[in-house]
Every structure is written in C-alpha cells, then in structure tokens.
Amino acid sequence: MALTNNLSVQALQWTGGALKVLDQRHLPAQVLYDEYLDAAGVAEAITSMRVRGAPAIGIAAAYGVVLSALKHFADNASTWRELVAADMAVLAASRPTAVNLFTALAQMQAALAAADSDPASLLACAQKIHADDIAANCRMGELGAALLADAKGILTHCNTGALATGGYGTALGVIRSRYQRQPIAVYAGETRPWLQGARLTVWELSQDGIPATLIADSAAAWLMKSGAIDWLIVGADRIAANGDTANKIGTYSLAVLAKHHGVNVMVVAPTTTIDWDLADGSGIAIEQRAPQELLPDCYQDNALVSAWNPVFDVTPAELISVIVTERGIVLNPSQHGVRGLL
C-alpha cells in the first residue's frame, strides 16, 4: 500500500517494489526521481545528498531495509536475516549526525528480529515510520504556529520542509500552518555551501503558493537589526538531552545574532531527533564532507588552498527559546533540557 501525501512536493515515493527518490541536487532546475532496488543504492543516495534532512534520511533507510529483505529473501531464504543485517550496517554509515537514521534502523532491527519466515512485516514497519513522521510534522506545525500569533516576520535556514521529511515539514511545517491562519513575511537564507535555502526552500514554498524572500547568508544580521524578523525557525539533525541542537552549519551563528537582536529562536523536530542518551552537544559527531564540495574548480589542484567543510554546528540550549516536538513544546530548554517530553 502506497502512502498518500497531498503536498505538491514529495521527496520519497514507495512504489511497491522500489523506492523513488527525488534527486535534490538538481532542484529547482529539474525534478528528477531516481529508482532504487537495493539497500546499497539507498545508502549511496543518502551519502550523496540526493535525499537529505534527518527525518527523510531515516525514512529512506527504513525502505532500504525493506529492499534488502525483499532481495535477500528471494535469493537466500535460509540466511536472509544475516544479509539484511549487513546491509543495515552500510545504511547506518551513510550519515553519522542524523539520529533519525539510527532511530529508524533500530525500529527496523526490531521488526527484523520479530519477522517469521516472511519479510512483509518490515514493509509495514517502514510505512509506519513514514506515516508517523507526516503526522508528527502536522502536529508540530499546529503547536509551533500557535506561538507565532503576533509575529510579522520569520527567518529560516536550510530546508526543513516536505523535501527533508516524510511530508509537510518541521520548521517549514510551522511556517505552512501559520501562513494558513494568517499570511506572514518569510525570509530564507541561501544556506551555503549547498544552497539548500536558495535551491530548495524558496522553491518548495513557491510550490505551495507561499511567498518567500531569499537573502544572502551574510545579510541576516542586518535584516534582524531592521526589525523585520521576530522569529528564527530551524530544524534539527540531533538534539541532546539538555537541549543543545545540531543543525545545518550556520545555525549557531544565526542563533548568536538572534540573541543580540532580541529575536526568538524556535527549533522544530520530532522526538525521533532527540538523542536521549547524549547529555549535551559536546558529544555530537560533526560530519565533515569533502573539501572538493566547497572549493571552486580553479583551486581543485592547488596544494596551497584547502577547505574546511563541516556540515553541521551545535547551537547551545541557552540560545534557544523553544523546542517544538509532536509530544509538546519545551520553553527555555536550557533550564530543564528535553527529558520532560519522555
């Protein structure tokens, strides 16, 4: 059974025997879907950032486990569980910072252990992970929007919409919900170096008929100083128990700017993004991607020029005004962390 999603943008589509992934590297110029039939292909799609965003990565990995089970059960009925477990290790190595990846794989591991002689139950588990994420996003959208009653302007970073989740979005889900109640000015930073804001966020909002204004990342401080921004709203790839939050590189600097200018900071993420065993953000592994992704072509062979290319940074809880999850909101997380959500 295929999941239905009424949004115009869908990052992942399960077809019954394959996973179709919207290759986000080509957006907005081209809308291209790649079809994957095995776990190795899904892992490569995650590593290469064809699919991105912590919730979407977890969902894609879950379907990757299903593809592995279907393939190995057909070819090796006696040892298929061991072969699936090996594929799960490959999927786990694809993006180390996104805790949703490991949460989804843990759920799939439990389903694998409980499966009898047929992997069909794994598909039911993956589809539940997908459906639960969409439901969580809609719930977070409503909770977050309720906090924005008097807001006139929002700034967001990276892409946190249907492209990064099972559907609707985390931070963009809040923006969608608020815009349905009352129009609001939405600003998006370009989000260097992959330009997820410029290529993905403003395009996705335009697909839903929501006006958005793109700014250069370096213009954020001046925009905040102008008084146009009431809230900075972002997603998360991993949240520690004390509320420290890992998100796309540049989030920390925006939170510092927001503190100086009296702008509220909202983090929106499902509880699957919370690493309950991690006391604080100092234990979050920050993924470093290849320097070649950042260096212009003219420097690729220049031994004197290198690049430092972290994908994420960690925003301390004391810079965050509120964390919104599907289980509820945490005001001033630096005071008590997020364990109250348990």
Mind telling me the catalytic residues? 237
- Specify the length of the chain in residues: 342
Cβ proximity of 224 and 263 under 8 Å: yes
User: Max Cα separation, the chain?
Assistant: 66
First to last CA, the chain: 32
- Amino acid identity, position 50: R
**DSSP strand pairing (328-331 vs 322-325):** antiparallel
Asked if 188 contacts 212 with a C-beta cutoff of 8 angstroms, the reply is yes
Report the run of H or E that residue 123 belongs to, with start and end: helix 120-145
Give φ, ψ of 230 to 5 degrees.
Answer: -100, -30
Rounded distance, CA 111 to CA 120, Å? Answer: 10
Query: Can you point out the beta strands (E) in 6-165?
Result: 12-14, 19-22, 33-36, 153-156
Is residue 146 helix, strand or coil? helix
d(CA 250, CA 310): 10
How many contiguous H segments (helices) and E segments (strands) does the chain have? Answer: 11, 14
Structure tokens that stand for 232 in this block: 């900075």
Q: Which two tokens stand for residue 255?
A: 């939170």
Task: Return the SS3 of 32.
Answer: coil
Residue whose structure tokens are 């213009």: 219
Distance, CA of 107 to CA of 127 (rounded, Å): 12
Q: What angle do CA 26, 209, 50 make, to 5 degrees?
A: 20
